[in-house]
């Protein structure tokens, strides 16, 4: 297949065509002073366009990628777009979107034309809408899955995108799918989290279906998702999701956006009442004109059978805390041990292509597109900000590795400490307090320098503020940005958390340890992981070790010396954030558009 031409893009999808034409018309009216700022802001957010902290015409474009599935043609167009309209690179988010920054507002319609030419859209990637529907990046290729959730995530996306129910919600609404209880998709902190499962009847028949969890969330007040019912049949899944959305649309707090998510509805009404309303709505949905009951056509067409396990398969472990070992040997063999997933009945393997900090250059976009075509493979984006190349054969792994080396994407990183996750932070976000990307790079380098980057089964996540776009709450070691005051000056700082975990239909939010200067955060990570490496028993998970040594309280005592600011004259570096050259300041009174 040849590359897509983007000089004269043609948008064939009528829905995308309508979105682009409407955006172009609304932008013209806004520029002519016919639409005020508040109305236009809500409109462009619904269309996936964020303002940046730099202000003016600078905007971020977030591209909706349902369950992370992206094609070669789409990657080629993304390469062209980031070269023409952005900084030459894009960013994979923790919710499987692709976004790029410093797009100029007058050029947005042209950008949307290019994206739409390959079926990509930014519609409802932002704003008070049903956001991008996430799904496990290994779905359809996982030896543990109860069924393939890929077509279910696609059917849910297709049904709810542009659905009138979800256009002006009290707040954003997030949906996530996992194919098994390992929960690689991270269903347990979403408004609706769906985990595939099975049940056995009294006569021994096995039925495949789902466990639906509701009202989870991260942010400043994290809430675990709660099981709606023991088992949801396949034909009831979309009605269950719609019923939950209807209850949220009716009960979400429209007077206070800080308490408007589904988790606050639970706090206000109680779980039993919310559960009653959802099940009642579902029971009555067949009377609605839009009733989505039965098995969706997309599932009937594509099927949802699980990948299964091949005979004599070597099954790769997956999920948070996976005991990955780099071992010795050639660079290829080390990459193979960490980045390759095996064990499906159809005999294919999957491999991670590492994207440092989730960033993807135009060369890498094109390189992955070429790999898809050369190897007849498929690609997903992971919630840890990497590519997963799927449907490979064993003999393709060596040539694939060589291609990834050329693209600087062959780092052995999957489930190793070096795979640090970060939100964009104060690089572009108006709400961020610190340069989380800069800290992530500094921690990564500190781990490399101290021989800790290859440590397996440890996740480090960083957010530039408490809102947890970097998902610091569910990492083994998490940081979120805060402002500190020392010697009469503002300084960048972080709150350290430890022991976060999501998996096995459960979730544990990290416990707070201490606040510390941003400059000391790499030393904290090194000190914790050095001790873990030296004290853990064979394959002992980080959380088990943490509990054994006394938990967050013990670490707060042992790390207290790192909560120290020298005076500005002694070390001015403590008062300058990572990736900055000037003394630290915050955007006083700034309101991020993710909070509007």
Judge residue 531's burial from the number of C-beta atoms within 10 Å of its C-beta, 0-12 exposed, 13-18 middle, 19 or more buried.
middle
- ∠ CA 329-334-340, nearest 5°, is 140
pLDDT of 6 above 50? no
> Can you tell me which residue has the tokens 């529907």?
133
pLDDT tens for each residue of 352-410: 999 999 999 999 999 999 999 999 999 999 999 999 999 999 999 999 999 999 999 99
pLDDT tens for each residue of 116-166: 999 999 999 999 999 999 999 999 999 999 999 999 999 999 999 999 999
In whole angstroms, give the CA distance from residue 360 to residue 575: 30
Cβ proximity of 584 and 574 under 8 Å = no
Whether CATH 3.40.50.1220 fits 14-116: no
Cβ proximity of 119 and 86 under 8 Å = no
pLDDT tens for each residue of 443-459: 999 999 999 999 999 99
* CATH T-level assignment (fold) for domain 144-302: Sulfite Reductase Hemoprotein; domain 1 (3.30.413)
Instruction: Identify which of 462, 588, 399, 592 has the alpha carbon closest to the alpha carbon of residue 94.
Output: 462
pLDDT of 590 above 70? no
| Sign of the Cα pseudo-torsion (141, 147, 151, 155, in order) | negative
Domain parsing of the chain, residue ranges: 14-116, 144-302, 331-406, 421-595
pLDDT tens for each residue of 175-198: 999 999 999 999 999 999 999 999
The residues that bridge with 480 in the sheet, in sequence order, are 463, 495
Mean pLDDT, the chain, integer: 95
Domains 14-116 and 421-595 share a fold: no
The residues that bridge with 212 in the sheet, in sequence order, are 194
Q: Which CATH class is domain 421-595?
A: alpha beta
């Amino acid at each position: 297949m040849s590359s897509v031409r983007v000089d004269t893009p043609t948008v064939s999808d009528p829905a995308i065509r309508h979105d682009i034409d409407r955006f172009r018309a609304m932008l013209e009216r806004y520029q002519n002073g016919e639409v005020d700022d508040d109305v236009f802001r809500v409109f462009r957010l619904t269309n996936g366009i964020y303002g940046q902290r730099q202000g003016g015409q600078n905007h971020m474009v977030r591209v909706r990628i349902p369950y992370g599935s992206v094609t070669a043609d789409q990657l080629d167009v993304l390469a062209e777009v980031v070269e023409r309209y952005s900084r030459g690179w894009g960013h994979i988010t923790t919710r499987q979107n692709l976004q790029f920054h410093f797009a100029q507002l007058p050029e947005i319609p042209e950008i949307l034309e290019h994206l739409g030419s390959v079926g990509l859209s930014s519609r409802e990637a932002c704003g008070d809408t049903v956001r991008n529907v996430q799904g496990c990046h290994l779905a359809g290729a996982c030896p543990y899955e109860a069924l393939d959730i890929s077509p279910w995530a696609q059917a849910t996306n297709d049904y709810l995108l542009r659905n009138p129910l979800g256009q002006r919600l009290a707040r954003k609404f997030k949906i996530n799918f996992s194919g098994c209880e390992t929960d690689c998709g991270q269903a347990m902190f979403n408004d609706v989290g769906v985990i595939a499962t099975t049940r056995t009847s009294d006569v021994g028949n096995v039925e495949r279906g789902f466990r639906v969890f509701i009202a989870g969330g991260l942010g400043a007040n994290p809430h675990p998702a709660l099981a709606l019912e023991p088992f949801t049949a396949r034909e009831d899944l979309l009605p269950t999701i719609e019923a939950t959305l209807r209850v949220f649309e009716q009960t979400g707090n429209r007077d206070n956006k800080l308490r408007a998510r589904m988790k606050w509805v639970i706090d206000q009404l109680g779980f039993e009442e919310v559960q009653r309303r959802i099940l009642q709505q579902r029971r009555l949905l067949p009377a609605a004109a839009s009733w989505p009951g039965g098995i969706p056509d997309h599932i009937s067409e594509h099927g949802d059978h699980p990948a299964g396990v091949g005979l004599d398969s070597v099954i790769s472990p997956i999920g948070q805390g996976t005991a990955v070992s780099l071992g010795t040997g050639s660079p290829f063999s080390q990459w193979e041990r960490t980045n390759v997933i095996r064990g499906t009945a159809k005999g294919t393997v999957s491999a991670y292509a590492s994207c440092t900090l989730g960033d993807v250059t135009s060369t890498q976009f094109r390189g992955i597109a070429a790999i898809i075509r050369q190897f007849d493979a498929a690609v997903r984006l992971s919630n840890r900000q990497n590519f997963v190349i799927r449907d490979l054969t064993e003999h393709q792994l060596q040539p694939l590795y060589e291609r990834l080396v050329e693209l600087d994407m062959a780092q052995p990183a999957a489930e190793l400490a070096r795979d640090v996750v970060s939100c964009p932070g104060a690089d572009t976000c108006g709400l961020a307090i610190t340069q989380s990307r800069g800290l992530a790079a500094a921690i990564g380098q500190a781990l490399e320098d101290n021989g800790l980057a290859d440590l397996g089964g440890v996740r480090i996540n960083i957010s530039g503020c408490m809102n947890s776009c970097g998902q610091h709450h569910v990492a083994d070691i998490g940081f979120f940005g805060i402002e500190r005051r020392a010697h009469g000056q503002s300084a960048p700082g972080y709150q350290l958390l430890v022991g976060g975990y999501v998996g096995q239909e459960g979730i544990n939010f990290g416990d707070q340890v201490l606040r510390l200067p941003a400059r000391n955060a790499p030393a904290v990570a090194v000190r914790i992981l050095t001790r873990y490496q030296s004290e853990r028993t064979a394959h002992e998970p980080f959380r088990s070790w943490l509990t054994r040594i006394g938990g967050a309280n013990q670490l707060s005592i042992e790390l207290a010396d790192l909560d120290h600011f020298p005076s500005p004259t002694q070390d001015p570096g403590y008062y300058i954030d990572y990736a900055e050259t000037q003394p630290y300041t915050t955007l006083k009174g700034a309101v991020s558009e993710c909070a509007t």
